[in-house]
Amino acid sequence: MSTQPYTVTASLPLRTRILRYPLTLAILGILATIVPMFVTLGLTELVPKALRVGWPMLLAAGFAVAGYRLYVTHLERRPISELAVDGAGRELLHGLGIGALLVVATSSVLLACGAFAVTGTADPIVLLKPLPEQVMVACFEEIVFRAIVFGLLQKSWGTKIALVVSTVIFVASHMPNEGFSVLGALMTAAASLALSGAYLATNRLWLPIGMHFAWNFLNDAVFAVPVSGHPARGWVQITTSGPEWLSGGAYGVEGSVVTGITWTIAAVMLLVIAHRRGHWMTKRMVRPGDEGALAH
Q: Helix 130-142 and helix 55-71: axis angle, to 10°? A: 10
pLDDT of residue 291: 41
What share of the chain in percent tops pLDDT 70?
A: 91
pLDDT of residue 20: 74
pLDDT of residue 288: 42
The torsion angles phi and psi of 165, rounded to 5 degrees, stand at -65, -45
Give the closest residue to 143 by CA, choosing from 22, 275, 26.
26
Inform me whether the pLDDT recorded for 56 exceeds 90.
Answer: yes
Inform me whether the pLDDT recorded for 149 exceeds 50.
Answer: yes
Give the start-to-end residue ranges of the domains of the chain.
Answer: 14-276
Encode 76-102: b = buried (16+ Cβ within 10 Å), e = exposed.
Answer: beeebebbeeeebeebbebbbebbbeb
How would residue 293 be classed by pLDDT, with cut points 50, 70 and 90? very low
CA 123/CA 64 separation, integer angstroms: 32
pLDDT of residue 124: 87
How would residue 237 be classed by pLDDT, with cut points 50, 70 and 90? confident
CA 49/CA 62 separation, integer angstroms: 21
CA angle, 3 as apex, 67 and 136 as ends, to 5°? 30
pLDDT of residue 287: 40
Mean pLDDT value of segment 71-89? 94
Inform me whether the pLDDT recorded for 227 exceeds 90.
Answer: no
Question: What integer best gives the mean pLDDT of the chain?
Answer: 89
Q: Which of 107-111, 202-206, 233-237 has the lowest mean pLDDT?
A: 233-237
Inform me whether the pLDDT recorded for 43 exceeds 90.
Answer: yes
Q: Which of 48-52, 161-165, 286-290 has the lowest mean pLDDT?
A: 286-290
CA 251/CA 230 separation, integer angstroms: 7
pLDDT of residue 11: 64
pLDDT of residue 191: 97
Higher pLDDT, 5 or 56: 56
Mean pLDDT value of segment 106-126? 91
pLDDT of residue 283: 76
SS (H, E, C) the chain: CCCCCCCCCCCCCHHHHHHCCHHHHHHHHHHHHHHHHHHHHHHHCCCCHHHCCCHHHHHHHHHHHHHHHHHHHHHHCCCCHHHCCCCHHHHHHHHHHHHHHHHHHHHHHHHHHCCEEEEEECCHHHHCCHHHHHHHHHHHHHHHHHHHHHHHHHHHHCHHHHHHHHHHHHHHHCCCCCCCCHHHHHHHHHHHHHHHHHHHHHCCCHHHHHHHHHHHHHHHHHCCCCECCECCCCCEEEEECCCHHHHCHHHCHHHCHHHHHHHHHHHHHHHHHHHHCCCCCCCCCCCCCCCCCCCC
Distances (CA, A) of 108 to 114, 118, 249, 259: 10, 12, 17, 11
How would residue 5 be classed by pLDDT, with cut points 50, 70 and 90? low
Convert the pLDDT of each residue in 238-259 to its tens digit.
888 889 899 888 888 989 999 9
Inform me whether the pLDDT recorded for 8 exceeds 80.
Answer: no
pLDDT of residue 292: 41
CA 153/CA 146 separation, integer angstroms: 10
pLDDT of residue 295: 34
Mean pLDDT value of segment 50-59? 91
CA 263/CA 98 separation, integer angstroms: 10
pLDDT of residue 55: 93
